[in-house]
Structure 1
Amino acid sequence: MEFTSFTEYAYGQTQYIPRQLELPLMPATDASTEVVQTSISPKGSCTSSTTSSLSNQVLADLKGTLQARGMTTTEPQLEALADVVGTLCDMADGSCAPTIQLSSLDPGMGKTTALIHFLRRVVASPDHLDVGVLVCLSQLDEIQRLVDEAELDEADFAVFCSDDQVSNLSATDIDAAQVLFTTQQMLAKRCAGRRLSEVREFYYLSQARAVRVWDETIEPGKVITVSADELAAMLSPLRRINPVLADQVQALQFDLATSPPGQIFQMPALEALFAISTFEISAAKDFREQLDKLKALAGRAARIYRTYGNQAIALNIRDALPADIAPLLVLDASGRVRHTYSAWETHRGGLVRLSSAPKDYAPLQIHLMDQGGGKDGWRRNGDQLAREVATIIDTKPDDPWLIVHHKAQAGIDPVGLIQRYVERADLSQVNFLHWGTHQATNAFKDVPNVVLAGLLHLPDSQLLGLACASSGRSVADHPPAELIKQIELGELGHGVIQAVGRGSVRGFDAGKCLPCSAYIIAGRRYGLSEALPQWFPGCQLTSWRPRHKPLSGRVKQAVEFVKRQQSERCGEPIMFSAIMDHIGEKDRSNFNRSIRKHRDFKAAIESLGLMDVNVSGGRGYDALQAVFEPVVCAAA
């Protein structure tokens, strides 16, 4: 068999030290599939060898898996995968520099497959019996998936998380399990204020684990915010625990609510707060989370920020990672577009980028609609946006679709609206994921059409906090506006790459992604027309022109009035006369012609589950009322 030699870099303390690794060239093939998150050969096929290096064994296994899947990759992509393997093996051998090592290979490129092969090799290696591995994942179902894919013997791994069902995937004691799977949240909670080497829950054979892997997003600091409204909500449960502390928090709530934006506010120490254990108290989850945030801010200077509805919040940054977390391998497909990493690399240091080789996205067609699709956009124009999405779905009625959307809120349910307006397509072929569940799933890898029905926008306060954390600033040192703008665009790119990457675009053949069509709703002000070709090199970008105009004028006034009445009146009829009074229309025939029979008004009324009814006993319809569907009333 033919081999090609390329250089993998082992990171020393002060310089890069090249080490030659042998990786078999991939044979040419026309087959196409994806690399990551599909089954690999069972553990029994691994044969340990004390004469072969761990890295060469893992690379040979990885090569075999790629070959078996009919995968063809470019040499730079193979080199990037070898960087991942090399970093894992350097940690196992104790030769890795104490830095954060970032691999930003695109979704579906094989990062997880490389990790799986490493796990199976390291537990089978007689030279690495004392090498512990810590794998930190963002979601519980990712632990389940990785455990299933790795097919490790139960004696070789343990799971440490708050969910009993997931923890029971293995009965092996944590200290005796060579591989430990945990959540990033668990690591942050257990290591708060401590070094990783001090937290025995993560030990293997009574010592800190040498190999550390972090899947997806990592940030050097966690943005902590507490609003005046949140403090007010804490008072009642807190008063039952400690009345004196409740009075102190009430005073803090008043001071925060009356502080001007931009002020550096000294939070009180609140010593009694630390006598309350969130693990022991019986209270709602939200209350316990607020206690944790307040503890993180107590005694520290915070920046006052004003957000929606003029709500006052106190903002600061706390360390998200233990000081001795490095060496650490981070696998984040969005790493090449997120500016948090660039700022971290430039201002804080301690972060090293591994080789990155993006796919060629020539087979990806992106259709971009210039319209606001955020939560506010859906509140204002939900009917129109849903009709746009439904119309584009109906252009390919026999195809599978994936719709990434905002959660239902304020009476607007994007899923229900879109389903209501789909006419030709088979709804069983239309899949939905809300933002927040749009990462780390392989379930839609064969879906060729992906719609981002709006983008995931972070609050301004969160962007400010990320800019401070990634650049090593305190909240008293306001970061430049350009840095915040770059952080915002990078976080949008992170969301777009992850969401689009759930579909068939995650697969690749001969260095290219598989054919896919993506439809994205985003306002022009975010600059996606310039950014998308950088996020997806080689993609085909076209305009997605709206076919349904947003509500405007008196039709919009009438629909908004009906929505408020439906929420406030709990199923009572909404009289046409009341609608006419609200929009200033005195002529009933003109109202019927210009409002009631307007196609946008009719579509909106139908989407609200309302029908024309007669409640006065006279001639004709005189009101709207929900007849067949339950009405969700506003809270009293």
Structure 2
Amino acid sequence: MWEALSDQAKAMEAMADGTALPSLYLSSLDPGVGKTQTLYAFVRNLVRSPAHAGVGVLICLGRLEEVRSFVQGMNAFGVLPPAAVAVMTSDPALNALGHPVPQEAQVLVTTHQRLERMRGRRLSDASAFLYQGKPRAVRVWDESFLPARAVVLNTNTIAGLLETLSTINPDLRARIMATVNEVEGLPDNSAYTVPDFAGEFGIGLPKVIRAMGRRAPTRLKDAAADLWHLSGRTVSIRCGNRDGWSLVDYRDSLPPDMAPMLILDASGRVRVTYDDMEARGLLVRLQSAVKRYDNLTVHLWDKGGGKSSFSNHGDELCKEVARMVLTKPQEPWLVIVHKPHPTGGDYERLIRQHLQGADVDVAFLTWGNHMATNAYVDRPNVILAGTLFYSDAQYEALKRSVADQRASDACVSAEALARVKMGETMHHLLQALCRASVRRCEGDGCPLTDAYVIGSSRHDFQGAIAEAFPGARVKPWRPEGLKLTGYVTKAIAYLSEMAKVIQAGAKVRFKQVALAIGMKPENFNKDVREHPAFSEALDELGIVEVGGTSRKTSFQFS
């Protein structure tokens, strides 16, 4: 881990000295290892270095909420000069944290969205991002990076533009309506060439945006921009049962001269999107070191946890989440839930209702806000009340954007789509669970943490957890609790009482337990020890089976 952090520092040093090759450099160390602390230390030392007085730094963060904590973090172990840092966002209060003239500050903190607004224009031509008239040499992108923006345009969203388009040109409206009807008659995974609306009617995107007016929803303005971008292009058509028909493509959004740049993304080792960038020669992986998760136990409930499942069964699922919280009412919890749904309801509110005012310390985050916060690192219990999935159209758009593969080039195979989906599943699992205490680093591992995940086995969550969290134990989460019957109940009751009085490391022979519960020893193995519920109950008691080299003979207490 120390060597990997040194690799990160060397990459930034090479940028500062002007010796870095024009590549994207990926540091994929797990959460909590120290990527951000290394960045803080580097920035503070760069600003203090007389030899690097003219070297500017550009730091791009994912969300506005991260900016304040990042600026504070840079100052935590040595205050930077007030004029050294500037903040460039859409929030005036955040911008006030730094120098009022960004071009005069050696360190500029901004957001991904600011860079994406460049729409492919060169960074060196954007005066707002320069330092002393030159491009900033040290560039750092925090969290997920994509070289282009995935475009998924649903036909229902296109239909929402028709009212505005009718005020501009009725024939244009009719042409787009005919396009929607044509697309909705195509089979899934078709290639389709979108008419060139701008060329046919001589109407550019700015005119469409002006016709919408200032109060038009941002999503509709974005849809218009995507539709005009797709005009004249060959796209992929995806048809989902719930999502209807979508046009799939991608568009350049970032400056083409972003490299050299350092990407800090803990999910870099599990997301296959980086594999495609590496295959294209865009990306170089820095040394990594995978954290151990032997102290993490994941309790997995084999049940659908997507948005639709919560929409249909929200009350049942929220009731079980509350029941699980109440199994350890003296310990703090973190629960990650879906955002409120128009029909399913407010899931945080439902869970709190089922807690019935119990005095428990439970914090909530919503999917979409489950990354890049350290506010919950002292919580040893975390529940993923549902999981985040995308449509096949979105996974395909993601694949095409990183592989630079247009619909006119080739289809995306089912196998490639499955790999992208698994990579994104592991990405969300890693980021979400690492909001809790599992994020912290103790040696090369994590603290004792219990995680509870709702996810159907058809998505291979067991495999995803094993790869994302090496060494973690996966146990079933049974919503009805562990049901024991007959001799199994008696055996666990007997062992539970023994655990209260027996010393750690002591052993009790199988025969002793069988006789104590009134059972013939020869039947004990088949009827009790091989019962799956018995094995789970033993695990919860911390009891293991031990014996000779050929067969087990006794229970050992921890």
Q: TM-score surpassing 0.5?
A: yes
- Structure 2 match to 1:26: none
Say whether the 8 Å CA contact 1:304–1:314 is kept in structure 2.
Answer: yes
Deviation at 1:231, TM superposition (A): 1.4
Say whether the 8 Å CA contact 2:205–2:225 is kept in structure 1.
Answer: no
- Structure 1 match to 2:278: 345
Give the alignment of 1:460-499 within 5 angstroms: 460-476=392-408, 477-499=410-432
Say whether the 8 Å CA contact 2:249–2:400 is kept in structure 1.
Answer: no
Deviation at 1:240, TM superposition (A): 4.5
Residue 357 of structure 1, aligned match among 280, 289, 299: 289
Following the alignment from structure 1 to structure 2, what is the Cα–Cα distance between the partners of residues 425 and 342?
A: 47
For 1:266, the aligned partner's letter is: T
- Structure 1 match to 2:321: 389
String of CA shifts for 1:170-207, please: whole Å, max 9, x gaps. 243122121111111110112x1322222222111112
Give the alignment of 1:581-600 within 5 angstroms: none
- Structure 1 match to 2:385: 453
Q: 3-state SS of the aligned residue for 1:134?
A: strand
Q: 3-state SS of the aligned residue for 1:455?
A: coil
- Structure 1 match to 2:440: 507
- Calculate the TM-score normalised by the size of structure 2: 0.80
String of CA shifts for 1:331-368, please: whole Å, max 9, x gaps. 0011111111123223x122111111122211111111
Deviation at 1:325, TM superposition (A): 1.3
String of CA shifts for 1:88-141, please: whole Å, max 9, x gaps. 111000111111111111111111111111111112211111111111111011
Q: 3-state SS of the aligned residue for 1:533?
A: helix
- Structure 2 match to 1:534: 467
String of CA shifts for 1:533-575, please: whole Å, max 9, x gaps. 22111112211112189xxxxxxxxxxxxxxxxxxxxxxxxxx
- Calculate the TM-score normalised by the size of structure 1: 0.70
Residue 254 of structure 1 pairs with residue 178 of structure 2: no
Following the alignment from structure 1 to structure 2, what is the Cα–Cα distance between the partners of residues 448 and 212?
A: 35
Q: 3-state SS of the aligned residue for 1:268?
A: coil
Following the alignment from structure 1 to structure 2, what is the Cα–Cα distance between the partners of residues 243 and 443?
A: 53
For 1:110, the aligned partner's letter is: G
Following the alignment from structure 1 to structure 2, what is the Cα–Cα distance between the partners of residues 469 and 438?
A: 24
Residue 311 of structure 1 pairs with residue 235 of structure 2: no
Following the alignment from structure 2 to structure 1, what is the Cα–Cα distance between the partners of residues 465 and 419?
A: 14
Following the alignment from structure 1 to structure 2, what is the Cα–Cα distance between the partners of residues 262 and 527?
A: 24
Say whether the 8 Å CA contact 2:153–2:226 is kept in structure 1.
Answer: yes
- Structure 2 match to 1:413: 346
For 1:276, the aligned partner's letter is: K
- Structure 2 match to 1:237: 164
String of CA shifts for 1:389-410, please: whole Å, max 9, x gaps. 1111110011111111111212
- Structure 2 match to 1:436: 368
Following the alignment from structure 2 to structure 1, what is the Cα–Cα distance between the partners of residues 97 and 213?
A: 28
Greater alpha carbon shift after TM alignment, 536-545 vs 286-295: 286-295
Following the alignment from structure 1 to structure 2, what is the Cα–Cα distance between the partners of residues 310 and 122?
A: 50
Following the alignment from structure 2 to structure 1, what is the Cα–Cα distance between the partners of residues 347 and 319?
A: 10
Say whether the 8 Å CA contact 2:235–2:406 is kept in structure 1.
Answer: no
Residue 208 of structure 1 pairs with residue 208 of structure 2: no
Deviation at 1:216, TM superposition (A): 0.3
Following the alignment from structure 1 to structure 2, what is the Cα–Cα distance between the partners of residues 203 and 244?
A: 45
Following the alignment from structure 1 to structure 2, what is the Cα–Cα distance between the partners of residues 423 and 513?
A: 33
State the number of aligned residues: 470
Q: 3-state SS of the aligned residue for 1:145?
A: helix
Task: Give the 3 Å change call, closer, same or farther, for CA 248–173 of structure 1 in structure 2.
Answer: farther
Deviation at 1:169, TM superposition (A): 2.3
Task: Give the 3 Å change call, closer, same or farther, for CA 251–159 of structure 1 in structure 2.
Answer: farther
Task: Give the 3 Å change call, closer, same or farther, for CA 159–528 of structure 1 in structure 2.
Answer: same
Task: Give the 3 Å change call, closer, same or farther, for CA 349–154 of structure 1 in structure 2.
Answer: same
Following the alignment from structure 1 to structure 2, what is the Cα–Cα distance between the partners of residues 212 and 281?
A: 37
- Structure 1 match to 2:504: none
Task: Give the 3 Å change call, closer, same or farther, for CA 250–136 of structure 1 in structure 2.
Answer: same
Residue 275 of structure 1 pairs with residue 206 of structure 2: yes
For 1:481, the aligned partner's letter is: A
Structure 1 stretches lacking a partner, 5+ long: 1-76, 550-636
Deviation at 1:244, TM superposition (A): 5.9
Q: 3-state SS of the aligned residue for 2:352?
A: helix
Greater alpha carbon shift after TM alignment, 379-388 vs 440-449: 379-388
String of CA shifts for 1:287-315, please: whole Å, max 9, x gaps. 22222222322221111111244622111
Task: Give the 3 Å change call, closer, same or farther, for CA 164–254 of structure 1 in structure 2.
Answer: farther
Give the alignment of 1:8-157 within 5 angstroms: 77-151=1-75, 152-157=80-85
Say whether the 8 Å CA contact 1:212–1:329 is kept in structure 2.
Answer: yes
Task: Give the 3 Å change call, closer, same or farther, for CA 321–343 of structure 1 in structure 2.
Answer: same
For 2:127, the aligned partner's letter is: R
- Structure 2 match to 1:590: none
For 1:174, the aligned partner's letter is: P
- Structure 2 match to 1:331: 264
Residue 547 of structure 1 pairs with residue 480 of structure 2: yes
Task: Give the 3 Å change call, closer, same or farther, for CA 235–529 of structure 1 in structure 2.
Answer: same
- Structure 2 match to 1:53: none
Following the alignment from structure 2 to structure 1, what is the Cα–Cα distance between the partners of residues 393 and 63?
A: 25
- Structure 2 match to 1:287: 220
Residue 194 of structure 1 pairs with residue 121 of structure 2: yes
Could you say which structure has the greater relative contact order, defined with CA pairs below 8 angstroms and 6 or more residues apart? 2
String of CA shifts for 1:376-425, please: whole Å, max 9, x gaps. 22123222211221111110011111111111212333212222222584
String of CA shifts for 1:419-472, please: whole Å, max 9, x gaps. 222258424x11111100000111111111000112111111111112222233
- Structure 2 match to 1:162: 90
- Structure 2 match to 1:376: 308
Say whether the 8 Å CA contact 1:245–1:273 is kept in structure 2.
Answer: no
Please, what is the CA RMSD of the aligned residues?
A: 2.1
Q: 3-state SS of the aligned residue for 1:224?
A: strand
Aligned structure 1 segments of 4 or more residues deviating by more than 6 angstroms: none
For 1:406, the aligned partner's letter is: H
Q: 3-state SS of the aligned residue for 2:103?
A: helix
Say whether the 8 Å CA contact 1:154–1:172 is kept in structure 2.
Answer: no
Say whether the 8 Å CA contact 2:157–2:220 is kept in structure 1.
Answer: no
Task: Give the 3 Å change call, closer, same or farther, for CA 372–548 of structure 1 in structure 2.
Answer: farther
- Structure 2 match to 1:7: none
Say whether the 8 Å CA contact 1:396–1:425 is kept in structure 2.
Answer: no
- Structure 2 match to 1:517: 450
Greater alpha carbon shift after TM alignment, 87-96 vs 526-535: 526-535
